[in-house]
Amino acid sequence: MSTRAGYFASMGSHNAFIPKPLPPDPPIDLSKGLVDLMADASASLGVLEGIAKVIPNPEYFIMMYTKKEALLSSQIEGTEATFVDLLASERRNRALVRYEMREIFNYIEALQYGLQRVMEIPFSLRLLREIHEILLDDVRGGQRSPGEFRTGQNFLASPDHAQDISKAVFVPPPIQEMRNALYDLESYYHQGEEHPLLMCALIHAQFETIHPFWDGNGRIGRLLITFFLRERGILTKPLLYMSYYFKKHRQAYYDSLTRIRREGDWEGWLKFFLAGVEEVSQQATNTADALINLEKTDRARMQALRNSSNMVALHQFMLAKPVFEAREVAEQLDVASPTANTLVNVLAHEGIISDITGRQRGRIWAYSDLLDILSEGTKEPPA
Ligand SMILES: Nc1ncnc2c1ncn2[C@@H]1O[C@H](COP(=O)(O)OP(=O)(O)O)[C@@H](O)[C@H]1O
Ligand SMILES: [Mg+2]
């Protein structure tokens, strides 16, 4: 046990953790390999930041990454949905979409809203609540209090002991201490002097320790990373999907958070986090390369099938909307439906697109190779 990060206070049936304000004291020990990790993570992030400037259609690319981060972040705590589900659901009336899907749409909205807001006004607890309100808007109902900090004691427990605080894995601070810790976190966000890459990691961990909402703490905490990096100009577009890494190493993610509180092991958490920044940056860069290649090869492939401006336009459309119907092609290209159908059939025959409905009518087509690239890491269950 160490009290470097805070202390456990006995509350009778349980011990609640009261965090100390950031930065850690004694300060982060950079000598233990952290300097090298920081250099590597920064370099990979720099490459990723550069990529956004050279890819052919950055808006589309960013949108896909945003969806991917939303999906992965929601999957960490068990939301079951695939990338294709997500793209297919976007096509439906929101009211008809199952709540898990709605949470993912909300996440995308919260991400976009927050990215814009942090450039307009200083980050604040109020902004945090606004983002939470968007995230939990109109989802499962119940007592999740969208937009409000919790008003009672919460705890993290295994599913078997979900109701029993004495068996909790972790009990966050009681309300008064929670409020103090939130104010301290807000000040640190503005006044911290550590390197921004370290700061966003410290802020995320501290936020998870405070656990100030009834639900959505994991996702809000992960959104905070993106907002912070944006505001500090480290990554101007949301291309870093840390959730990919947290999901893949979920147990290590939770264990590193636990070790901060029990052992004061901030350095261990920072190492885990920075290794993730590097891994995810490289992964995102590889994805970008794969997308650029696919665009090139498939443009040639499709033109070989039919050298027409319609085919070129269809390819552009598919890149932006890899799940689509023939009637949308007709609309988008402004051609008659038989023409659209012919184009679609040519691609289906060639295996470039495939039907995901199994129906004869109202088929929905998926641009499979593109979706395979984008959905990497979204198919496996969390570790
Ligand atoms: N041992 C732990 N210590 C601190 N935070 C944890 C621990 N285990 C899990 N978490 C965090 O709590 C989150 C789950 O809390 P929850 O409020 O249900 O968030 P969400 O609904 O967004 O998944 C996890 O995603 C993780 O970020
Ligand atoms: Mg939850």
Q: Which ligand lies nearest to the CA atom of residue 223 in the structure?
A: 1
The pLDDT of residue 54: 76
For residue 60, being part of any structural domain is answered with yes
* Structural domain ending residue among the three candidates 286, 314, 331: 286
In whole numbers, what is the pLDDT of the chain averaged over residues? 93
| CATH at 310 | 1.10.10.10
Asked whether residue 300 is assigned to any structural domain, the reply reads no
Give the whole-angstrom CA distance, residue 63 versus residue 305.
29
DSSP single-letter state for residue 20: P
What is the rounded distance in angstroms from the CA atom of residue 26 to the CA atom of residue 150?
A: 31
- Residues at CB less than 6 angstroms from ligand 1: 76-77, 156, 169-170, 208-209, 215-219, 221, 254, 257-258
Specify if 364 maps to a domain.
Answer: yes
Atom of ligand 1 nearest to the CA of 135: 22
**365 and 221 in a common domain:** no
- Residue-number span of the structural domain to which 334 is assigned: 306-374
The residue among 252, 286, 320 that closes a domain is 286
Residue 141's pLDDT is what? 59
Least confident of 196-200, 338-342, 357-361, 364-368: 357-361
The alpha-helical segments, DSSP class H, found in the chain are: 34-54, 58-76, 83-89, 99-117, 125-135, 175-191, 196-210, 217-231, 242-248, 250-263, 266-305, 309-320, 326-333, 337-350, 368-374
Same domain flag for 172 and 319: no
Please tell me the predicted confidence (pLDDT) of residue 59: 82
Residue 293 lies in a domain: no
Looking at the structure, do residues 148 and 258 belong to the same domain, yes or no? yes
Q: Is residue 292 part of a domain?
A: no
Mean pLDDT for the stretch of residues 263-281? 97
Do both 136 and 239 map to the same domain? Answer: yes
Strands 365-367 and 353-355: antiparallel
pLDDT digits (tens, 9 = 90+) for 106-151: 999 999 999 999 999 999 999 999 999 999 997 765 568 999 999 9
Mean pLDDT of 346-364: 94
Tell me: do 119 and 244 sit in the same domain. Answer: yes
How many angstroms does the Cα of residue 112 sit away from the middle of ligand 2? 21
Q: CATH no. for residue 27?
A: 1.10.3290.10
Per-residue pLDDT at 352: 97
Per-residue model confidence as pLDDT tens digits over 303-322: 999 999 999 999 999 998 99
Q: Would you place residue 169 in the very low, low, confident or very high pLDDT band (cuts 50, 70, 90)?
A: very high
- In this prediction, residue 61 carries a pLDDT of 81
pLDDT cut 90: percent of the chain above it: 78
365 in any annotated domain: yes
pLDDT at residue number 144: 81
One domain, residues 33 and 130: yes
Band of pLDDT at residue 293, cut at 50, 70 and 90:
very high
**Which atom of ligand 1 is the closest one to the Cα of 213?**
17
Residues near 201 by beta carbon (within 8 Å), at least 6 away in sequence: 225, 269, 270, 273, 274
Asked whether residue 275 falls in the same domain as residue 313, the answer is no
- For 211-232, how does the pLDDT look when each residue is reduced to its tens digit (9 = 90+)? 999 999 999 999 999 999 999 9
Question: What's the pLDDT at 143?
Answer: 67
Q: How far is the CA of 65 from the centre of ligand 1 (A)?
A: 22
DSSP-assigned letters across all residues of 25-41:
SSPP-TTTTHHHHHHHH
60 C-alpha to ligand 2 centroid (Å): 29
CA of 167 to the centre of ligand 2 (A): 18
Instruction: Compute the distance between CA of residue 236 and CA of residue 58 in angstroms, rounded to an integer.
Output: 12
- Residue 142 pLDDT: 57
Q: Are residues 330 and 273 both part of a single domain? A: no
Averaged pLDDT, 49-65: 81
Instruction: Assess if residue 92 is contained within a domain.
Output: yes
Token pair in block for residue 123: 């980050």
| CA 250 to ligand 2 centroid distance, Å | 15
Of 21, 203, 235, whose CA–CA distance to 123 is shortest?
203
**Which ligand does the CA of 221 lie closest to?**
1
Q: Are residues 239 and 322 in the same domain?
A: no
Is there a single domain that holds both residue 261 and residue 368? no
Domain end residue (candidates: 286, 321, 344): 286
- CA nearest ligand 1 atom 27, residue: 218
Same domain, 131 and 200: yes
Pocket test residue of 139, 140, 211 for ligand 1, highest count of atoms within 8 A of CB: 211
Q: Can you give the pLDDT at residue 104?
A: 93
Q: In the chain, how many domains are there?
A: 2
Is the pLDDT confidence value at 177 over 90?
A: yes
Both 138 and 252 in one domain: the answer is yes
pLDDT greater at residue 257 or residue 292: 257
> Does 294 fall in a domain?
no
